Amino acid sequence: MDSLIQNISATDTSEAVQEEIFSIIDLMTSGGTGGNIIMSVLVILSIFSIYILIERISSLNKAKKGNPDFISKINTLVNNNKFSEAISICKEEDSTISRMIEKGLKRNGKPFNEIHSAMENQGKLEVNKLEYNLTNLATISGAAPMIGFLGTVIGMILAFHDMASAGGNVDVELLSKGIYTAMITTVAGLIVGIISYISYNFLLSKIDKIVFTMESASSEFLDNLQ
């Protein structure tokens, strides 16, 4: 008997969850053609922002990896005038720092200012690679809430248009449902915008740490050359 009651309770719970899921889906897709287009755009933006986050985290983690003794080895080789061997180690390391140092090593014998300038230019290129797609993420964080609000405005206009068309026979329940449905695009837009904004700042903080490491390595290398 107890098992029967438990099975009935579990079935009721499962059905309640399914009804809740279906009601949310129905709510998201019941905004008419205009609302559905807005929701589709927001879904695409959310997928794109998540892709950028995952791809950038993977790339930045690779950029952070490297031999902690790399600069010490390079400086030791430079002090022993083994520039060719130092360049070979840079090629093997193949990191943001090694590519920047390699640029300086290839300017061996040139004036110090020229070496510094070459490394600085390479450093800017490396930072630009690290910041790939970050502008798109920033754009999504600002555009998504506005797109969601646009969907709400469209929904509100349609709801009040239906009310005006009904004349004196205004169905309050139908009107409130139309307004409620229209508001879902604003919520969706804010969710996508908040996630994108947090992701942008998270990635920016990781890039700042990598840039700091690059600057420290560059200063150590240049100080050894002088």
What mean pLDDT is predicted for residues 87-105? 90
What percentage of residues in the chain have a pLDDT greater than 90? 45
pLDDT score of 22: 46
The model's pLDDT over 113-165, given as tens digits with 9 standing for 90+, comes to: 998 999 999 999 999 999 999 999 999 999 999 999 988 888 888 777 777 77
What percentage of residues in the chain have a pLDDT greater than 70? 78
Radius of gyration of the chain (CA): 29
* Separation between Cα atoms, residue 143 and residue 147, nearest integer Å: 6
pLDDT score of 94: 83
Q: Which residue, among 217, 201, 174, has the nearest Cα to 56 in the 3D structure?
A: 201
Identify the residue whose tokens are 């449905």. Answer: 181
pTM of this prediction? 0.78
Q: Which tokens go with 183?
A: 């508001």
